[in-house]
Chain A
Amino acid sequence: MWKYLRSEFLKLRKSTIWLLVFVSPLLSMLIGFGEANFTSDIKEYQWVSTLGVMTIGHSILFLPLLTGVFSSFICRYEHSSGGWKQLLSLPVSRRNVYIGKFLMVSLLIALTQILFVAGLLFIGWMKGFSTGIPWEVILPSVIGGWLACLPLIALQLFASVSWSSFAAPLAINVIFTIPNILIVNSERFGPYYPWAQPFLMMMPDSTDSFGALHVSFETLFIVVLGSLLLFFCSGFMYFMRKEI
């Protein structure tokens, strides 16, 4: 498995697309800086409210979009100049090729999440937040957000492997991401809408202003895991049988 990741990493590293991992953490950090002015009086909530504000744009918009961009891109260089043909006529297992690509995108999203936390810590340090770092809130948030991205990655990878077009899966991803802002408010649909899940998982508990946040963590977790399994297996089976 290791060699599949190394080969993938080489192909990815020389493209500039991975630089996108910096975009959302940076923007979220700027937003976080602006926000804290208003809530600085409630000291216990400094960290959590900053995290909450940073999370909105990051998880409603950027995370779903990034899963699409990375998934499309990791297939693009295979589609564009006969890469699949060459790759799959090597003595490699298709299974590992597919899993390798999935892991690579998951790692990029994980990196994004780590940078996101770094941004939060940087704000706290600059502003001198008085309380200790509430890891018990931050860790579930970023890890949950990452978990919730996995079904999206699986779905996008399926789409990107099927279509040789780079733009089509991306366009569809954007179309499904835009209604997010409405759907996260819906207690009924929110938990079952894959594009809304990163937000629902990431938002710290103390902010109750979005309808779907009332759904229990267990429900969300099962939905995320279930859809991950469904999407991953569909894409995987398709890829195993695909004629190149």
Chain B
Amino acid sequence: MSDLIIKTNKLTKKFGSKRVVNHVDLQVKRGEIYGFLGPNGAGKTTTIRMLLGLARPTKGSIQIFGEDIKKDKISILKKVGSLVEYPSYYGHLTAYENLEAVRILLDAPKSRIDEVLSIVRLTKDAKRPVKGFSLGMKQRLGIATALLGNPELLILDEPTNGLDPSGIIEIRELIKSMPKEHGITIVVSSHLLSEIDQMATQVGIISKVIFQDSISKLRERASSKIKITVNEGESAWKMLLSHGITSDLAQQSIYLENGSDEKVAKVVKSLVDNEYSIYRVEEEKKSLEEIFLELTGKEGGL
């Protein structure tokens, strides 16, 4: 089997005349934590609903495990666990009964309930009605439900939304441990870049365009500049130019694009030789946030 777990082709969804998802080509590889990133309203949930067969694409196709969701929905869903938007639960049932109601449908062994309860650390609260649970506990129960069928692919839509910081950390650690300990591929969506940055190995940014690559490639796009602050910026800049070194001048500081170590050393040496006082040599990175904003456009609604 190919190593692409999810592959969509020009996936498009319209509500009325409004294009909510437009020509999205997702490619998720086995064993990755794929961060599905986009501002609110970008169409993440809609895309995920289509992946799960809850909504039909207006155009385009979806292949999961190499099978078409239109034709082999049930056989695909057997290997998928999911949590869409806010957590789903039956409030009048206990956590255990919630899992049991799903387990019966999955034909999973009863022992699996205790296993997933312990993975999300809800064993102690298993006998309590879920309506009394905190949001974080409901979210964890949702993940437990998603894990019941021993899925190969886990799709989690904004799993940390609305949680307090400790809840966020807990869910994040849980997600990060999953591929290592259970060999699961994970798609996790979020509107927060920092979230994705901390969990994902691959990233897909959905908005007008789609950027899709490994997180480290995204970081590389955060190209660095060397900023040198000296006593007389403008004259130093001219001196460097006369020595054949191009640089930028802004607010009396000198900026070097893509400064290699040798280049920086050379610049510093000529500045010292010409008796300028060097106050600071700093590396300035464009933040991931800035790149995210650049990719998603200003109207991103952040």
Chain A residues with CB under 8 Å of chain B are: 3-4, 6-7, 10-11, 14-15, 77, 80-83, 85-93, 243-244
Distance between B147 CB and nearest chain A CB, rounded to angstroms: 13
CA distance A77 to B101 in the complex (A): 12
- Residues of the B chain whose Cβ atoms lie less than 8 Å from the Cβ of A85: 54, 84-85, 88
Is B291 an interface position by the 8 A CB rule? no
B105 touches A90 (CB 8 A): yes
A92 touches B74 (CB 8 A): yes
Distance between A20 CB and nearest chain B CB, rounded to angstroms: 16
The proximity string for B residues 85-97 relative to A, scoring 1 for CB distances below 8 Å and 0 otherwise, is: 1111111110001
B100 touches A83 (CB 8 A): no
B91 touches A90 (CB 8 A): no
A7 touches B104 (CB 8 A): yes
Interface centre among A7, A10, A11, A86 (most CB of B within 10 A): A86
B105 touches A83 (CB 8 A): no
A77 touches B92 (CB 8 A): yes
Please list 11 pairs of residues, one from A and one from B, whose beta carbons are closer than 8 Å in the complex, sorted by A's number. Answer: A10-B104, A77-B90, A81-B90, A82-B85, A85-B88, A86-B84, A89-B77, A90-B106, A92-B105, A243-B54, A243-B55
Q: A10-B104, A89-B54 are in contact. Are A244 and B49 (CB under 8 A)?
A: yes
B89 touches A81 (CB 8 A): yes
- Residues of the A chain whose Cβ atoms lie less than 8 Å from the Cβ of B4: none
Further contacts, 13 of them, CB under 8 A, given A10-B93, A89-B84: A3-B107, A6-B104, A7-B101, A82-B89, A83-B90, A85-B85, A86-B84, A86-B88, A89-B53, A89-B77, A89-B80, A90-B102, A91-B74
Chain B residues with CB under 8 Å of chain A are: 49, 52-56, 74-75, 77-78, 80, 82, 84-93, 97, 100-102, 104-107, 142, 145, 149
Interface centre among A6, A10, A85 (most CB of B within 10 A): A85
CA distance A93 to B73 in the complex (A): 9
- Residues of the B chain whose Cβ atoms lie less than 8 Å from the Cβ of A93: 74
Interface pairs A-B: 6 shortest CB-CB: A82-B88, A86-B88, A91-B77, A244-B54, A91-B78, A89-B52
- Residues of the B chain whose Cβ atoms lie less than 8 Å from the Cβ of A11: 90, 93, 101
Tell which of B74, B75, B77, B86 touches A82, judged by Cβ atoms closer than 8 Å. Answer: B86
- Residues of the A chain whose Cβ atoms lie less than 8 Å from the Cβ of B106: 90-91
Q: A3-B104, A3-B105, A90-B106 are in contact. Are A14 and B97 (CB under 8 A)?
A: yes
Q: A10-B97, A11-B101, A88-B54 are in contact. Are A81 and B77 (CB under 8 A)?
A: no
Distance between A217 CB and nearest chain B CB, rounded to angstroms: 41
A15 touches B105 (CB 8 A): no
Closest-by-CB residue of A relative to B157 is A85
CA distance A93 to B100 in the complex (A): 18
- Residues of the A chain whose Cβ atoms lie less than 8 Å from the Cβ of B100: 10
Tell which of B86, B93, B149 touches A91, judged by Cβ atoms closer than 8 Å. Answer: B149
Distance between B107 CB and nearest chain A CB, rounded to angstroms: 7
Distance between A100 CB and nearest chain B CB, rounded to angstroms: 10
Closest-by-CB residue of B relative to A80 is B91
CA distance A83 to B105 in the complex (A): 14
Q: A6-B104, A83-B90, A244-B54 are in contact. Are A89 and B82 (CB under 8 A)?
A: yes
Distance between A206 CB and nearest chain B CB, rounded to angstroms: 45
Closest-by-CB residue of A relative to B80 is A89
Distance between B57 CB and nearest chain A CB, rounded to angstroms: 11
CA distance A109 to B49 in the complex (A): 35
B105 touches A82 (CB 8 A): no
CA distance A167 to B100 in the complex (A): 28
B55 touches A86 (CB 8 A): no
